[in-house]
Amino acid sequence: MILTLTANPSSDQTITLAGTLQRGTVLRASSTTAQAGGKGVNISRAAVAAGIPTVAVLPADVDSPFVAELRAAGIDTRPQRPAGPVRTNLTITEPDGTTTKINNPGPTVGASHLALLAGAVVDLAAEATWVVLAGSLPPGAPAGWYAELVGALRRTGARVAVDTSEAPLAALAAALPASAPDLMKPNGEELATITGGDPATLESDPAAAALAAGELIDQGVGAVLVTLGGAGAVLVTADGAWHAAAPPTTVVSTVGAGDSSLFGYLLATERGLPAADALALAVAYGSAAASLPGTTIPRPADVDPTAVTAVRLGAPARS
């Protein structure tokens, strides 16, 4: 079972423009969609589509339309008392796939709200193969909250994956090795913020990204999956480093592509696949998501792992 925590969920509204985004003008939309979302929620959606058991923990009123939508989609949702209404995030997508996001901060939480979320996750972790801590933290949450939660989860025996950014990511990195998860999934820019690398170089040079990710392996992280957009992704473990280029893809929307890549990797580990094949499935899932509109999460039929090949990069990560 894949257990996901979305500490700051969102109602994701996507506007697809008929033309190029131009500030200060009247624009016409070709379509508008709305979906209950958040990074952990997206991973649980992908799990349901792939027939993998999943439970989603998040703050929301139990009788809210947000929770009703997730349960109607087949997601076992365990809502905890929220500090306020679920936030709304806006995505604007242009015909060439260029995506602009406007994310609201969400309600300000207190210690009691965080304790409910942490308690639910730790209690359920014994039943999980993976616990995924995903997305931003709401206002009021300490930047180190994920790092503290990883420490608590390490005592449960479940494998822990973290996909976050900005202050929570920096706090997690600063707390290594005590907070080391089994998997981290930064993109190139996020990896640069915690390793001191140049973002443009890491995004475009898989070898440089692998070298930077190796620094996290040295500090106790089990595996680092670095998503690189059109350049594919890099996977680094104590056993080595691999790169998989993205297959030719007509990009429609990049929203949810990173979440889908993370799920592809988790799915591969559930199937017992080796590292290279896990990376290939991660890239295949991310590319499939980029080819779909709005926040659509790919189903297995949308994914072609045979179109992706992972190759080893140089020597194994430093020890």
Determine, yes or no, domain membership for 66: yes
Q: Which of 12, 163, 205, 259 is catalytic?
A: 259
Q: Based on the structure, what is the number of domains in the chain?
A: 1
Determine, yes or no, domain membership for 318: no
131: exposed, middle or buried (Cβ count in 10 Å: 0-12, 13-18, 19+): buried
Residue 315 has pLDDT above 80, yes or no: no
Residue 8 has pLDDT above 80, yes or no: yes
Domain, as residue range, for 121:
2-22+29-312
The pLDDT value recorded for residue 97 is 79
User: Does the annotation count 259 as an active-site position?
Assistant: yes
Determine, yes or no, domain membership for 317: no
Amino acid identity of residue 314, one-letter, is G
Residues 165, 44: Cα–Cα separation, whole Å = 20
The pLDDT tens digits for 152-205 are 999 898 999 999 999 999 999 999 999 999 999 999 999 999 999 899 999 999
* Over residues 26-51, mean pLDDT: 92
Question: What integer best gives the mean pLDDT of the chain?
Answer: 93
Residue 316 has pLDDT above 50, yes or no: no
The DSSP bridge pattern shows strands 233-237 and 240-244 to be antiparallel
* Strands of the 240-244 sheet, one edge to the other: 76-80, 54-59, 2-6, 130-134, 159-163, 183-184, 223-227, 233-237, 240-244, 310-312
Q: What is the CATH number of the domain that holds 159?
A: 3.40.1190.20
Residues 240, 316: Cα–Cα separation, whole Å = 3
Question: What DSSP character marks residue 252?
Answer: S
The pLDDT tens digits for 108-137 are 999 999 999 999 999 999 999 999 999 999
At residue 318 the predicted structure's pLDDT band, cuts being 50, 70 and 90, is very low
* 314, two tokens: 């140089």
The pLDDT tens digits for 247-298 are 988 888 777 889 999 999 999 999 999 999 999 999 999 999 988 887 788 9
Residues 169, 41: Cα–Cα separation, whole Å = 19
Cβ count within 10 A of residue 115: 11
The pLDDT value recorded for residue 295 is 75
* 192, two tokens: 């640069």
The DSSP bridge pattern shows strands 183-184 and 76-80 to be unpaired
* 111, two tokens: 């210690």
The pLDDT tens digits for 229-250 are 889 999 999 999 999 999 988 8
The pLDDT tens digits for 191-241 are 999 999 899 999 999 999 999 999 999 999 999 999 998 899 999 999 999
* Over residues 85-92, mean pLDDT: 92
The pLDDT value recorded for residue 319 is 42
Determine, yes or no, domain membership for 299: yes
* 148, two tokens: 């503290």
